Amino acid sequence: MPRTPLSRRHFLAASGLATLATGLASVSGEETDGRPPVTNPRATSGDDRFEPKWDERLTVTVGPKDADIVGTSAKALQAAVDYVTRFGGGTVQILPGTYKLRNAVTLSSNVRILGSGLDSILLKEPSHGTKLDVDSDWYDQEITLRDAKGFEVGDGVCLRTKNPHNGGMEVLKRTLIARSGNRFKLDKALRQNYWLMGDSSCTSLFPILTGENIANVVIENVTLDGNGKQNENLDGNYAGCVFLQDCNRIAMRKVTARNYNGDGLSWQICHDVTVEDCHSHDNAGLGMHPGSGSQRPLIRNNLIERNDIGIFFCWGVKYGLAEKNRVVDIRKHGISIGHRDTDNVVRDNDVTGSGQVGVLFRPERGKAFAPHRNLFENNRIINTGDDKAIAVDVQGQVEAVTLKNNVIKETRAPMQRVGVKIGSETKDITLADNRIEGFATEVSDMRTR
């Protein structure tokens, strides 16, 4: 296969993200200020907005055999990512096989991860943990383990301790890069005090794919298996099958995220994230976690099943669209929206068999923190919870929410079930043309009592 260096602009064009970038520029008004449109783009140094469509791009294959990089470890995958990164970006093609990971694969800007569907499995190795045996101060770059059995140089680890000043939990992710006996050097300094009085510990926990402060990344057609029964829990603020922090313009397509003892797909303070045609299932935490501060997420055509919560809008998620998803057999809430999650559209989704609430508007800390100006339309919310369950529960001081043209249905028995409950402190809640049936109470409007 021909190999050619690929710049960021080459990669954008090849992956389809150039179209996204151009569209965003148009939305911002940059295309309507009188300047002529770009009709024949060239690769120009420093110009990352427009890009020709290239016939070839740099691709590196990884696999158990007959690959550019032969191997089935995180080291082999990371080597491929680092190689294409050296040339400004490219595709890491993961050939069929099971890849057993002792550390996360850390992504870079302009990198595309392309698997072979259910035949390319990135499997997290079982976790093991121990307490620290020596105090480490915030400026240290090493730890001493009480029991180092099972730990190796190159392992990804999660360090946890109780803050001695406020009792809160401090969590860091690091890599073990050198050792002498039970004493390990870390890739980065601690920047927190890890003292024995804080019950400090080290556990081999990490995301499968991760990135921080990167942009223009595509992850597609790959299977990520968290091996949850053999791993401790690490929540979605730190990990998941995919965990991203402070990123822009990320696309995840046809990704299977399963069996993680935490979240399936989690992105924190990440903007213009697209998740399409993915399957997030049997994770201990959230199926999809558009995290704090994330702007303009697009969550479309996904199957999300048997997670603790299906789609969880975290803090300050705005201008997002979730549509045509199937959210099935979730243990708690099918879709949950809360803290300053405003101006989102949730449309044409199937939310079936949620264990507690189908759609939950969380009460939060008062009006200033409530999820205002959200539109829920053309959804189907079927068979929710136990015999006293609420299918759609609008709590707190929520304002300007519209529920329109939804089918909210119970096919088992009415029992004491409620179709829609509107809290007493809410304002400007519009119900229009919804079909609500099979409940003991179709609409419970606490404002009128």
Spatial CA neighbour of 337 closest among 307, 317, 366: 317
Burial 23-47 (b: 16+ CB within 10 A, else e): ebeeeeeeeeeeeeeeeebeeeeee
Spatial CA neighbour of 236 closest among 184, 182, 290: 290
pLDDT for the residue numbered 448: 73
Rounded CA-CA distance 449/439 in Å is 20
pLDDT for the residue numbered 22: 41
Rounded CA-CA distance 150/152 in Å is 7
Predicted TM-score (pTM) of the model is 0.92
Burial of 1 (0-12, 13-18, 19+ CB in 10 A): exposed
In the chain, domain spans: 59-124+206-448, 129-203
| Helix-then-strand count for the chain, H and E | 3, 41
Q: Which fold has domain 59-124+206-448?
A: Pectate Lyase C-like (2.160.20)
Are the CB atoms for 370 and 399 separated by under 8 Å? yes
pLDDT for the residue numbered 29: 41
Q: What tokens were used for 11?
A: 């990669």
pLDDT for the residue numbered 1: 42
Q: Which fold has domain 129-203?
A: Elongation Factor Tu (Ef-tu); domain 3 (2.40.30)
pLDDT for the residue numbered 32: 61
State which residues of the chain have pLDDT below 70. Answer: 1-32, 449
User: What is the distance between the terminal CA atoms of the chain, rounded to a whole angstrom?
Assistant: 71
Rounded CA-CA distance 242/104 in Å is 9
